[in-house]
Chains A and B, each alone.
Chain A
């Protein structure tokens, strides 16, 4: 089939916009592998029957045919700016909880954020209102309502909603809700079953609790990452890249990772509290607090423990891991190639693969008595040596070649992929881990699929993404508080919703 040729002229970014999009260039660009091809993969390891069992029972396509684990649980999310609130409540709503996202009448400012301020990369809903992609992607299966809790009437409405909730996840600055009489101690009196979770960067109490600037600006991620030594630990040493913005500084995660980590632990804490309340028959809710800094600190491997052991302060080690060998990525012909395999079995297999092309690897690495013991291979000098010679091999091949070569030896190896490559990676397309949804409001959107969507009985599901501001005021206020259109009109006029 002959490809259609189009004459195009690009003078500005605006000219590029119509060139992409689900209608012009649908995802995936090339079709995913077929189930038959996968069957061959399963058969190769004599796991055909098992593979078929997985495909028949876990496939993402069947998720809407199955029940929801948290059906009947009501969650209210009350926050702005950050991801933790949205990720926490999103995990629950993907698993079937009903989620009400409360925003002030002017909306969550996250709606307005877009990379480098480029409004052309926001998506418009049917009313023509643009919405930033972070907000859109992270607000999942949520009803959007507006409410001004700084007005007395708004506070009353908030209380009445909270009385009907199982879980309330809130992320306003420390003590703010409490000062309005809407804190845990007030709401728990009205609804003792309420599970109330505060999320934030460093805490709602304590000497380093979250701050608000003199001018009212909130503290956002990466303040959490900075407060727990995560940033200090990440990045290339100045010896490998120069300091001062040239690659050799401590480094934040490119994404608001601490917020995501706080979000998932908030969801876990809420679910554990729910289990205790309902399944163990205690009937009581509780107060929970999850912070970005601390939940991230929980997963800083052994770092703080290490300080207590011999006062070591974890330092950044670039793309090499100081605890395992091999376990790193190094540059190759067309990017970076990650290789992992620490136990003797895997380590020598990696070596055999490299030695086939680069015989000197055997002489320098395999024969070195210092590298023969698994734990000793983690010493700094062992890393320098192993990775220098490994890169000598990598510089001549590109990522795909390296991956194929290492796969022959069944090594866990993979290239550093960019998002366009991720979206087209066969396994990602097959599952699919990036997926499209035809959203009622925003059209076809590519999104990262829920991680809990692959289950036999109660898979998580994404029903919709984002939501126009206050879109569900009518339904939610009627359903929960009995407000009809006249009442809503009145509240709107008063600026309460």
Chain B
């Protein structure tokens, strides 16, 4: 048969057919799932893979955590991000540190005794740091030169401030119609437009605090998440909006303005709280460490810490809480047998019966009574041996030492270019991506550390001009 006759009969390419076609591919399909995951995510080799947002340049005229985090997400995904700060002072977040104990130096050469506090960690990773004082008229052309070179900006000034300074959305769009402009703040247009906001305000004002913590009938108070969760979590939702806007811009060539209110974001995560109130007027209350919809599914206290001899009080006294979950019938029955309270199961056979409030109080008390003479690890071991779900409430040391996070690369050491040996928990932990993984490059840089890089190398200002700007306090 002639080759061309054979060609005529051909209906598809061999390469297009399903199934393993090489030894390598065969191995990949045969590999146990865990091995396969390890191989595709290839933890530790992120830098040989491309950046998802290659070519995007974003300006971060932000402070604190909330709006900066919307940009960090982009920077971790490979966008080039430029953080703009007030000359010599920097972001106020640089001046926060737990109990005033932890700083990395220097903040800026002119302030040798000041460092940047750990409060600044993770909120502005991988970015370039420049300074610019918008109050000075000469800053305006500099700002606009940057706008022309960028894809978007996130700002957090009091609403209308940038507009008053003639660098708001309306002005920028006339210079760069592809620009995506983000304002992030507490409230947005409306009666409280000028109200300032913080993470804690979101937690308090939007209902989250009212449902977090122990109920006052048990002696508890509305509890603040000690982490600035609403700041971070709201910032990530801005990133969602930015990424969608970038995608749409790719089709249409048009930028947009996003107005994002973090106080609203705290209400958004309340689940059934809102519709339950709307339909039945029920005002959801706090329910401590238990779950309003599942039982058993809560955190219990055991009798003993796992590290009674450690000097650190967090280990010595606090390593004694366990998450226990056995809400399905068979699990609950097994749990009742383990704690030697089979009568509990006979009284609360169905989930509907045991999830009621009085039942929960009785059931958790029985579990805690059983655990009263045991340590945290004993309780976890016993429950897990019987095939139930249980886990210790882990602390920072245990997270650091966890083999799990180490293998997955979500807690790792970074040799920071300016600050040295820094442990990081961010970026990689936002999600593993097989082709375009997030990357952590540097934690932060001193105030204005990239002034020459951006103003001279990117915008073309002569060095003498930069020195003049610096001397005048414009940068």
Contacts and interface: CB of A to CB of B under 8 A. Distances in A.
- A and B, direct touch (CB closer than 8 Å): yes
B218 A217 contact: no
Contacts of B288: 245, 249, 251
Interface string B387-406: 11101111111111011110
Given A319-B223, A338-B200, A379 B99 contact: yes
Interface stretch (B4-12, B338-346, B421-429, B464-472): B421-429
Interface in B237-260: 237, 239-241, 243-248, 250, 254-260
A445 B279 contact: yes
B377 to A, nearest CB: 14
A384 B40 CA distance: 51
Contacts of A117: 351-353, 355-356
B31 to A, nearest CB: 9
B258 A454 contact: yes
A430 interface: yes
Nearest to A70: B244
A352 interface: no
A271 B389 contact: no
- Which of B170, B424, B425 lies at the interface centre, i.e. has the most chain A CB atoms within 10 A of its CB? B425
Contact of A260 (B269, B391, B410): B269
A455 B275 contact: no
Contacts of B255: 457
A175 interface: yes
Interface in A114-140: 114-117, 119, 121, 123, 132-134, 136-138
Contacts of A410: 194, 196
B385 to A, nearest CB: 10
22 contacts: A20-B279, A58-B257, A133-B276, A175-B33, A178-B36, A214-B386, A226-B299, A226-B392, A231-B299, A236-B213, A250-B318, A255-B273, A265-B431, A276-B53, A287-B435, A301-B228, A311-B312, A338-B205, A378-B100, A419-B274, A447-B278, A454-B260
B240 A430 contact: no
A376 interface: yes
A217 B352 CA distance: 17
B219 A203 contact: no
- Which of B186, B265, B436 lies at the interface centre, i.e. has the most chain A CB atoms within 10 A of its CB? B436
Nearest to A456: B257
B323 A226 contact: yes
A307 B366 CA distance: 36
Nearest to B314: A313
Nearest to B235: A299
B388 A213 contact: yes
B137 interface: no
Contacts of B436: 272-273, 276, 286
Contacts of B145: none
B167 interface: no
B449 interface: no
Given A219-B325, A226-B323, A227-B394, A260 B233 contact: yes
A288 B434 contact: yes
Contacts of B391: 223, 226-227
Interface stretch (B117-125, B127-135, B450-458): B117-125
Interface string A314-343: 111111111110011101000110101011
B278 A27 contact: yes
A312 to B, nearest CB: 7
- Which of B210, B256, B286 lies at the interface centre, i.e. has the most chain A CB atoms within 10 A of its CB? B210
A318 B244 contact: no
- Which of B102, B210, B268 lies at the interface centre, i.e. has the most chain A CB atoms within 10 A of its CB? B268
Nearest to A47: B160
B434 A286 contact: yes
Nearest to B98: A322
B236 A447 contact: no
A419 B279 CA distance: 13
A420 B274 CA distance: 9
B92 interface: yes
Interface string A233-252: 11110100111111101111
Given A54-B259, A446-B277, A455-B257, A217 B410 contact: no
A451 B279 contact: no
A446 B407 contact: no
3 nearest interchain CB pairs?
A446-B278, A308-B423, A214-B387
Interface in B30-46: 33-34, 36-38, 40-41
B214 interface: yes
Contacts of A132: 272, 293
A307 B400 contact: yes
B431 A299 contact: no
A377 B413 CA distance: 30
B314 A315 contact: yes
A305 to B, nearest CB: 5
A430 B190 contact: yes
Given A303-B425, A312-B102, A378 B97 contact: yes
Contact of A205 (B38, B69, B353, B364): B38
Interface string B183-194: 000111111111
Interface residues of B, number: 197
A431 B226 contact: no
A316 B214 CA distance: 14
B457 to A, nearest CB: 24
A452 interface: yes
A312 B98 contact: yes
Interface stretch (A148-156, A290-298, A385-393): A290-298
B394 A232 contact: yes
Nearest to A215: B330
Interface in B340-390: 351-353, 355-357, 364, 368, 386-389
A274 B164 CA distance: 37
Interface in A360-407: 374-380, 407
A132 B292 CA distance: 12
B163 A47 contact: yes
Given A58-B189, A309-B102, A456 B169 contact: yes
Contacts of A278: 247, 250
Nearest to B257: A456
A445 B387 CA distance: 41
A457 B207 CA distance: 30
A474 interface: no
Interface stretch (A1-9, A34-42, A475-483, A489-497): A34-42
A451 B234 contact: yes
Contacts of A271: 240, 243-244, 247
Nearest to B197: A412
Contacts of A137: 271-272, 274-275
B261 A451 contact: yes
A290 B431 contact: yes
A426 B208 CA distance: 18
A318 B223 contact: yes
A51 B160 contact: yes
Given A213-B326, A303-B425, A431-B264, A426 B430 contact: no
Contacts of B441: none
Nearest to A289: B432
Contacts of A55: 189
B50 interface: yes
Contact of B425 (A183, A215, A298, A455): A298
A246 B33 contact: no
B55 to A, nearest CB: 7
Given A308-B413, A314-B226, A412-B197, 10 more contacts: A58-B189, A132-B272, A228-B394, A246-B218, A286-B434, A287-B435, A375-B96, A378-B96, A420-B277, A454-B188
B234 A343 contact: no
A419 B284 contact: yes
Nearest to A212: B389
A165 B285 CA distance: 41
B433 to A, nearest CB: 5
Contact of A264 (B214, B236, B271, B411): B236
Contact of A83 (B121, B224, B233, B271): B271
Contacts of B169: 456
A417 B210 contact: yes
